[in-house]
Chain A
Amino acid sequence: MSATDPAVEVRESAVVAPGAATTPGTPAQPPPRVRTRGLFRSLGRNRKAVVGLAILVVFVALAVLAPVVAPGKPSLITDVASLPPSSSHLLGTTAKGQDVLALTLWGARSSLLVGFLVGVAASFLGVLVGLASAYFGRAVDDLLSLLTNVFLLIPGLPLLVILAAFLPPGTATIVVVLVITGWAGSARVLRSQALSIRGKDFVAASVVTGERSGFIMFREILPNMASIVMTTFLGCVIFGIGSQAGLEFLGLGDVSTVSWGTNLYWASNDGALLTGDWWAFVPSGLCIALVAFALALLNYAVDEITNPRLRSPRGRRDRAAAARGRTTDESPTTPTVVAVEGAR
């Protein structure tokens, strides 16, 4: 599972060396921060990133402005049931007579919030486990890697269903359950990245100067893997939004809250499919897909910026250069599959 890291030996012997620890104030080497800022600047130039960000901004704005655009409780019955889209109800009404547009707008709030919370919590847990695993190595690494792999292998959705069935229904439960099942993927990716940084000289130098483990892990190793943290975060958000919708569609969430998942649950429960009320289930599903697509675009953009090999060559000159560059390229050959894993 994990070979013993040669850097660990360096640390063991270096700590004993006298004199090295007498200059605690000076950081071994300023952690290269430039990459992080450069990442954001290149994001602005990347077409995929701009499109993705634009879609996300629109959805967040709609979610925030829901009380203004569609005032009142969205689940209120306002008109005759199953009206097709018209000028009074832009997206029609459900089989119960609720306005679909209001439901969709208000649904964005819960769905985006849960997605964001799951993203933050799951990637935080992933960072913690991945960093600790790579930094401490040995027994800690073995144990944490084992735990990660077990959680990766246990099939996610059935576990989600079981957990959701035993816990009291509600949005908080969904977040907790999704974090439990979602952190392992990011932990594994982050561990391997942290492991390669752990072996760099500047980390060894910090260890020699006697920096605290926490400082090295979070202030020196973490900033250098900002792009990977970002892709795993985006992947976790996609996972969160999609899985929440899936769970709620199965009726395992709190069916009285308004979210895209519960909208779809009610649409299918009211038989919108069989009566032909396509407007009852199309908007919510489309919203989920658009948000997930926007996040995936951002993800690929980050991937392309940090891994130049994946950039598709534009002009003929670029292509010729790429062909010539084949043998001289010395970037690491690990293809980034983070985005693909995250999309699941």
Chain B
Amino acid sequence: MRFILRRLGFYLLAFWVSITLNFLLPRVMPGDPVSRMFARSQGQMTPEQVDQLRKLFGLDHRPLWQQYTSYVHDMLTGHMGISISRFPSPVSEVIASQIGWTLLLGGTALVIAVVVGNLLGILAAWRRGGVLDSVLPPLLVFIGSFPYFWLAMGALYLFGVVLGWFPTGHAFSVGLTPAWTSEFVSDVATHLVLPAATIVLVSIGGWMLGMRNTMIATTSEDYIVMAEAKGLRPHRIMFRYAARNAMLPAVTSLGMSLGFIVGGAMLTEVVFAYPGVGYQLLAAVQGLDYPLMQGIFLTITAAVLLTNFLVDIVYVRLDPRVRVA
């Protein structure tokens, strides 16, 4: 219990740091965002509008600590301001309409990569020096060296443009309305294949090698020798004895890799014009939509922290040593 509370405190602190970072960035940087937007709009903004924007950002002449407290209060209550590029919808509404797609893409890719990668790692470690162990790791490391977005571009070109097997962008075909019909679901699935496959391809190598290395350490433990001596079936030793204990580091990196998946998904989303949060973040940067930008950053951070906290809770259940400490 103490462990959980300590982790909770840590995540709250991390969240506070990111809020503060968000607050300080526009105020510390040279030139405030409003004048940049004013310069961009080439005189189409009236002074009243500029004034309004300044208020929106909190770039008024109140003392800094007052701005800060009201900013933190706004963020915690979900008032992230109003999007500029999608005026007049509030930032939270814009994010809510798109986070589902990112979760779908990132979640699918993560689950496939974790399950397949760990299985491959277990098998490779079990048969040290076998075909799987000697061929796959270098290959996966090589594939993993490619930038996410480049593989995505290649896949888009090859399977989308040249072969025409899969759609080249967006989450579903134009003209379809989201509904739980088989037609819509299968359409979404075909749009999901390419982006998810590229993420899986790049990230699977890390999982496999991580699992292989821990698994090698586990297989040299005494209790494995003991299990062998007892005459247990190899299958049972591999999964119930060795892999089960080798899973722990993988669980930890699962939490850590979520942020990575969100980031990787972001580039993939941009290449495939997939309407997720990452795609929106880039659009917000290009449109100098600072409130939306910051809102998305905070949402992603909050999501990552929350999932890490959940992983910690699972960890307590899995590893009794944590409970004692």
Contacts and interface: CB of A to CB of B under 8 A. Distances in A.
Q: Do A and B bind each other?
A: yes
Nearest to B216: A309
A335 B222 contact: no
Contact of B144 (A167, A309, A326, A343): A343
A158 B29 contact: no
B145 interface: yes
A264 B147 CA distance: 11
B216 A285 contact: no
B92 to A, nearest CB: 17
A293 B142 contact: yes
B316 interface: no
Interface string A259-300: 000001001100001101010011011001111110011001
A327 interface: yes
B146 A288 contact: yes
A337 B210 contact: yes
Interface stretch (A12-20, A23-31, A145-153, A204-212): A145-153
B123 interface: no
A290 B213 CA distance: 24
A165 to B, nearest CB: 5
B319 to A, nearest CB: 16
B150 A281 contact: yes
Contact of B281 (A152, A161, A284): A161
B304 A155 contact: yes
B297 interface: yes
B210 A340 contact: yes
B217 A319 contact: no
A274 B282 CA distance: 21
B209 interface: yes
Q: What secondary structure prevails in chain B residues at the interface with A? A: helix
B294 interface: yes
A333 B213 CA distance: 10
Contacts of A163: 25
A156 interface: yes
Given A153-B308, A154-B17, A162 B294 contact: yes
Interface in A222-245: 238, 242, 245
B198 to A, nearest CB: 12
Given A150-B17, A285-B147, A329-B220, A274 B161 contact: yes
- Using C-beta atoms within 8 Å of the partner chain, give the interface range for chain A: 35 or more
Interface string B259-300: 110111011001100000010011001100000011011001
B147 A309 contact: no
Contacts of A245: 147, 149-150
Contact of A246 (B10, B18, B29, B147): B147
Contacts of A326: 219-220, 225
A340 B118 CA distance: 14
Contact of A167 (B29, B149, B162): B29
A336 interface: yes
Contacts of B222: 327
Contacts of A150: 13-14, 17
Contact of A335 (B142, B217, B264, B266): B217
A106 interface: no
Interface stretch (A32-40, A59-67, A80-88, A247-255): A247-255
B169 to A, nearest CB: 10
A165 B285 contact: yes
B216 A344 contact: no
Interface string A319-344: 10010001101000111110110011
Contacts of B154: 281-282, 285
Contacts of A312: 128-129, 133-134
Interface in B194-210: 205-206, 209-210
With most chain B CB atoms within 10 A of its CB, the pick from A158, A273, A296, A340 is A158
A152 B256 contact: yes
A154 B259 contact: yes
Given A153-B259, A157-B266, A293-B141, A343 B206 contact: yes
Contacts of A300: 141
A116 to B, nearest CB: 17
A161 B285 contact: yes
Interface in A188-222: none
Contact of B141 (A152, A158, A296): A296
B145 A289 contact: yes
Given A158-B301, A335-B213, A252 B285 contact: yes
Contacts of B145: 238, 288-293, 296, 343
Nearest to B260: A344
A264 B149 contact: yes
Contacts of A264: 147, 149-150, 153
B263 A158 contact: yes
A172 to B, nearest CB: 14
B301 A285 contact: no
Contacts of B285: 161, 165, 250, 252
Contacts of B293: 161-162, 165
B51 to A, nearest CB: 22
B100 interface: no
Contacts of B264: 157
B30 interface: yes
A276 B145 CA distance: 24
A319 B267 CA distance: 43
B164 interface: no
22 contacts: A149-B14, A150-B17, A153-B305, A158-B281, A158-B296, A161-B282, A161-B297, A166-B25, A250-B282, A267-B153, A276-B161, A285-B146, A285-B154, A288-B150, A289-B150, A291-B145, A292-B146, A310-B216, A312-B129, A326-B219, A335-B210, A337-B249
